Amino acid sequence: MQVSDPLTDHLPQIERMISALESEQYETLFEDYHELDATFGILYGTYVDELHYLAADEPQNEVAERIGVQFSELRPFLNALRDDLSLEDLDAALDTLKGLKEEATTLYALFGEYRQVALEAPRYSEVPYTHELIRVCKHYLKGALSIEAVQGRFEVFCNYHEALEQQLASLVPSPPEREAFEERAEDIEEALALQLQAMEDLDFALEHNEESEIAEALENLAEAAEVLVEVYRHLQKADLEPVKVSCIRCGAENPTDARMCGACGAVIPQSAANVGPNSTMAFEEDGSAVGPKESEELLRMEEAVHLFLHSGEPDKLEQALISYQRKMDRIKRQFGRMDDPPAEIPAEHLAILQRARQSFRQTIQALEGFASAEPLLLEKGLAEMRAGNELFNAFQAEFEAARSLSG
């Protein structure tokens, strides 16, 4: 059960409202209240949905019950805060907010306890998607969960597999990973093929309620995940090896902090020397997408800038700028629906989309700033491009959550 971090989300929001009341800055109190209420509403919806995937004999149940009780303790404070603000009883609103903060702190402590108990339960795979699907299927086979629960997790797993295939197909390994990736390419292909076959077998076995075939498919899913994790660790180990920077003029390798090539004396652009670890595969505990931290366009742009600075050759730079602009166009098309959300979208989901839309505008501004950079400002432009790329990655998770809620 994944929830947002209270240290960076709800509790600071409550603190801001308390600070606003204490400093007599009332302009955004109602707006802040509705956003806070909507956020807790989404959190409660997530909690209720997760209960459908929790078997009665799992140790998390006891904590889950206390979370439900704590939600019932917290709700009266939200209702009272609404009434206090409506009546403009600001002293009462301040007291209510302080009580709400205490209840929210208790709630998040319970979510932390829930996660800890879940981590102590048997793990069927280090890949969260695989572990969760196997866990739910095993409880289904014991009669502890419904087929609907299995179907829900199976759909999520299918989406994960499709995303993983797409990411690997368009993968641009970091320089330290490239050789390791090529060495294990066949293993990755076999693991994906095994995983896909296991998915098809599981789908058929579930439809015909064949317990032995379900168990066999789950074993194959676990085996495929084990190979993928092994490859990931192999790539990660390669990525953590000491990084060298090649001189574009003579090809000699130099330390990452070198400003001039030790062999020919050519200047090494600092953007080349600042390349850090860039893992191209990830299996995050929260189920976030796998993929490179930097885009293919960004890597191509860096190479073109370095070539231009050393040789004055503009062709690659012009091509890279065209490719980069195409990426901007694709992003705009991809997220175009943000400006026209469905009429029936719930208010709390619309609030998330509105925040994502604002983040998207900031992202586009940061990313588009590079395309118009003057040649003498290319190094600065690259730095801005990296910052925009990081902002885009952070924003993308928020938007995908909003899009899944509104779709």
Is the pLDDT at 329 greater than 70, yes or no? Answer: no
pLDDT band for 369, please (50, 70, 90 cuts).
low
Is the pLDDT at 31 greater than 90, yes or no? Answer: no
- Residue whose tokens read 């209420």: 37
Dig out the tokens for 19 from the structure.
């600070």
All residues at 6 or more sequence positions from 381 whose CB lies less than 8 Å from its CB, including other chains: 305, 369, 370, 373
pLDDT tens string 8-26: 455 677 888 888 888 888 8
Share of the chain above pLDDT 90, in %: 27
Whole-number pLDDT of residue 256: 60
Whole-number pLDDT of residue 309: 65
Is the pLDDT at 70 greater than 90, yes or no? Answer: yes
Is the pLDDT at 259 greater than 80, yes or no? Answer: no
Q: Which of 26-30, 100-104, 128-132, 290-294 has the lowest mean pLDDT?
A: 290-294
pLDDT: is 227 or 330 the higher one? 227
Q: Do 362 and 391 touch, CB atoms closer than 8 A?
A: yes
Whole-number pLDDT of residue 297: 54
Backbone angles phi, psi at 28, to 5 degrees: -110, 15
Is the pLDDT at 266 greater than 70, yes or no? Answer: no
What would the mean pLDDT of 212-221 be, rounded to a whole number? 93
- Residue whose tokens read 């603000």: 85
Could you give the 3-state DSSP secondary structure of residue 246?
A: strand
pLDDT band for 42, please (50, 70, 90 cuts).
confident
What would the mean pLDDT of 399-407 be, rounded to a whole number? 48
Q: Do 203 and 218 touch, CB atoms closer than 8 A?
A: no
What would the mean pLDDT of 77-99 be, rounded to a whole number? 93
Which of 203-212, 239-248, 355-364 is most confident? Answer: 203-212
* C-alpha span between 371 and 90 (Å, rounded): 50
pLDDT tens string 49-63: 888 899 998 999 999
Is the pLDDT at 203 greater than 60, yes or no? Answer: yes
- Residue whose tokens read 């806070």: 36
Is the pLDDT at 397 greater than 80, yes or no? Answer: no
Is the pLDDT at 147 greater than 90, yes or no? Answer: yes
Task: Please compute, for residue 245, the number of CA atoms within 13 A of its CA located in the half-sphere on the CB side.
Answer: 26
Backbone angles phi, psi at 26, to 5 degrees: -100, 0
Q: Which of 102-106, 138-142, 231-235, 375-379 has the lowest mean pLDDT?
A: 375-379
CA torsion, points 280, 282, 288, 293, in degrees to nearest 10? Answer: -30
* C-alpha span between 280 and 236 (Å, rounded): 9
Is the pLDDT at 291 greater than 80, yes or no? Answer: no
Q: Do 227 and 190 touch, CB atoms closer than 8 A?
A: yes
Whole-number pLDDT of residue 316: 67
Is the pLDDT at 6 greater than 60, yes or no? Answer: no
Is the pLDDT at 257 greater than 80, yes or no? Answer: no
Whole-number pLDDT of residue 201: 95
* C-alpha span between 117 and 111 (Å, rounded): 10
Q: Is the dihedral of CA 118, 122, 125, 130 positive or negative?
A: negative
Q: Which of 151-160, 166-175, 356-365 has the lowest mean pLDDT?
A: 356-365
Whole-number pLDDT of residue 121: 87
Whole-number pLDDT of residue 323: 58
* C-alpha span between 386 and 292 (Å, rounded): 13
Is the pLDDT at 247 greater than 90, yes or no? Answer: no
pLDDT band for 29, please (50, 70, 90 cuts).
confident
Whole-number pLDDT of residue 7: 39
Share of the chain above pLDDT 70, in %: 56
Q: What value does the mean pLDDT of the chain take?
A: 74
Whole-number pLDDT of residue 94: 94
Whole-number pLDDT of residue 95: 95
Whole-number pLDDT of residue 272: 36
Amino acid at 344: E
